[in-house]
Copies of this chain bind each other. A is one copy, B any other.
Amino acid sequence: MHHTDAEIALGLTKANENEDAALERLFDLLRIPSISTDPAYAGNCSDAAEWLRRELAGLGFAAELHDTAGHPVVLATDHAASGPHVLFYGHYDVQPVDPIELWNRAPFEPYVVTAANGELQIHGRGASDDKGQLMTFVEACRALKSANDGVLPVKVTILIEGEEESGGKNLPLFLEKMKQALAGADIALVCDTDMWDRRTPAITSSLRGLVADDIVIEAANRDLHSGMYGNAARNPNQVLAEIIASLRTPDGAVAVEGFYDGVEDLPEEVRDIWKTLDFDEAAYLGEVGLSVPAGEKGRSVMEQTISRPTCEINGMWGGYTGDGFKTVIPAKASAKISFRLVAGQDPKRIREAFHAHVRARLPADCTVSFSPHGGSPAITIPIDGHFLGLARKALTEEWGREVALVGSGGSIPVAGEFKRILGLDTLLIGFAQTDDNIHSPNEKYNVTSFMGGIRSWIRILAAFGK
């Protein structure tokens, strides 16, 4: 059964007519504080999974929750169509909301507001990453079904996990376990990336990997008074600061030994494509209040953020951090340190080199401990496939502009797992904007991203089914 162009048009009409109801459904999901990294919100994560299961069951999917060692996975199938089989991936979990005082309104009370630039924006934690993005696909399925007596143009499996923001170590185990059930899929679709700009759709064709560690430096067996022990007692804050400082060379490169081994320079042809993209470095940095690229000298901002690996101090703390002053020498100091990897870097080797770097700089009387997070390599998506060609054409029809094929500096480990475990290629097609404040206060998703996303998936699925 093939969808006709008339049915696509009807699907788009249905989507447009149902905008208010679709926003209401998204708001329901956004109201659930499904912060996966904080055990206090485990119940809310289950609530979000169950909300999605019910929603998909209501659309006629066979929808189930699958328990993992962490938060549950939602798995929903509708294989009534005779066309190819797509595996859609999204995640219902969200980032923590601190610093809470910087939010204009409560992060889990979503609302639509007209921004200073005239845009209609959906505000709330997860509005973009990834609840708003995943709901574009769910709403596209709804519109397509209502346009064709409940039948989709392709076989669809929807997999929505709840640990993308917290290391995601249970998803690979789940994929291994469900390998047989998922084996029939022809292509994976992930909606967790950005558009090129407000009006230009993008397909992401490369992703950086991620290695991260919690690190704790300890010295004395208790907090000490700096008047009694100052100078003589090793101060873990000082030790940690010296170690962090040693991670970058004065010219902005990462100083871990062997860090750039295997990293290749950007190929000329990619450099040429990037030139056509009209990327405005000054505007990209200026929009967040910066003006000078901080990383490796001589590398453009696009290289630094997409094709070069990085080391970032995501958090650090030690000693007294409250109001007023306390002249303490703390017993320990901690940091959260992450590395974004590019092709040629092995996560295991990078982690070992980092640990060796720290241990080599540890002074007498200090100990260090590491708690690993993440551990995924960079991946590259083939840009000449059948489905990618169809998706490019469908996106161009929707947005009236050529699709940008871009690399992304972020890490979406699941694409690598789909390839490794299921042998499946992934299309990374997302509708977020770079200023969506994902992982930050006042996260938002433009209404044009949401509605354009729904309409894009309607066109893409119909094109796959033709």
Interface residues, chain A, with chain B CB atoms under 8 Å away: 36-39, 95-96, 98-99, 102, 165-167, 208, 210, 212, 214, 219-235, 237-238, 240-242, 244-248, 252, 284-285, 288-296, 299, 301, 304-305, 308, 310, 312-330, 333-336, 338, 340, 363-365, 373-374, 408-411, 434, 437-441
Inter-subunit contact A410/B244 (CB<8 Å): no
Inter-subunit contact B220/A441 (CB<8 Å): no
Which single residue of chain B is at the shortest CB-CB distance from A337? B237
7 smallest beta-carbon distances between A and B, as pairs? A37-B324, A227-B410, A231-B295, A221-B289, A241-B244, A230-B310, A237-B313
CB distance from A221 to the nearest CB of B (A): 3
- This chain's copy number in the assembly: 2
Inter-subunit contact A324/B290 (CB<8 Å): no
Inter-subunit contact B340/A336 (CB<8 Å): no
Inter-subunit contact A320/B96 (CB<8 Å): yes
Given A234-B294, A237-B313, A237-B316, is A288 in contact with B229 using a C-beta cutoff of 8 Å? yes
Q: Which chain B residues lie closer than 8 Å to A214 at the CB level? A: 325
Which single residue of chain B is at the shortest CB-CB distance from A436? B225
Which of A37, A290, A292, A334: most chain B Cβ within 10 A? Answer: A290
Inter-subunit contact B315/A232 (CB<8 Å): no
Which single residue of chain B is at the shortest CB-CB distance from A322? B96
A314–B319 Cα distance when bound, in Å, is 6
Inter-subunit contact B338/A325 (CB<8 Å): yes
Q: Which of B99, B212, B328 contacts A314 (CB 8 A)?
A: B328
Inter-subunit contact A326/B305 (CB<8 Å): no
Inter-subunit contact B219/A338 (CB<8 Å): no
A343–B44 Cα distance when bound, in Å, is 59
Inter-subunit contact B315/A220 (CB<8 Å): no
Which of A165, A316, A335: most chain B Cβ within 10 A? Answer: A316
Inter-subunit contact A317/B314 (CB<8 Å): no
Q: Which chain B residues lie closer than 8 Å to A441 at the CB level? A: 222-223
Which single residue of chain B is at the shortest CB-CB distance from A236? B313
A410–B232 Cα distance when bound, in Å, is 13
Q: Which chain B residues lie closer than 8 Å to A310 at the CB level? A: 226, 230-231
**14 pairs of residues in contact across A and B, judged by CB atoms under 8 Å:** A208-B227, A225-B438, A232-B301, A233-B290, A238-B313, A289-B365, A292-B365, A314-B319, A315-B320, A315-B326, A316-B318, A316-B319, A317-B321, A321-B336
Inter-subunit contact B316/A316 (CB<8 Å): yes
Q: Which chain B residues lie closer than 8 Å to A320 at the CB level? A: 96, 98, 314-315, 336
CB distance from A152 to the nearest CB of B (A): 32
Given A296-B231, A313-B237, is A220 in contact with B325 using a C-beta cutoff of 8 Å? no
Inter-subunit contact A288/B224 (CB<8 Å): yes
Inter-subunit contact A321/B334 (CB<8 Å): yes
A265–B402 Cα distance when bound, in Å, is 74
Q: Which of B238, B284, B334 contacts A248 (CB 8 A)?
A: B238
Q: Which chain B residues lie closer than 8 Å to A241 at the CB level? A: 240-242, 244-245, 313, 316
Q: Which chain B residues lie closer than 8 Å to A247 at the CB level? A: 238
Inter-subunit contact A326/B37 (CB<8 Å): yes
Extra 8 A-B pairs, beta carbons < 8 Å, given A241-B242, A324-B373 = A37-B322, A38-B322, A225-B440, A229-B409, A231-B305, A231-B310, A234-B292, A313-B319
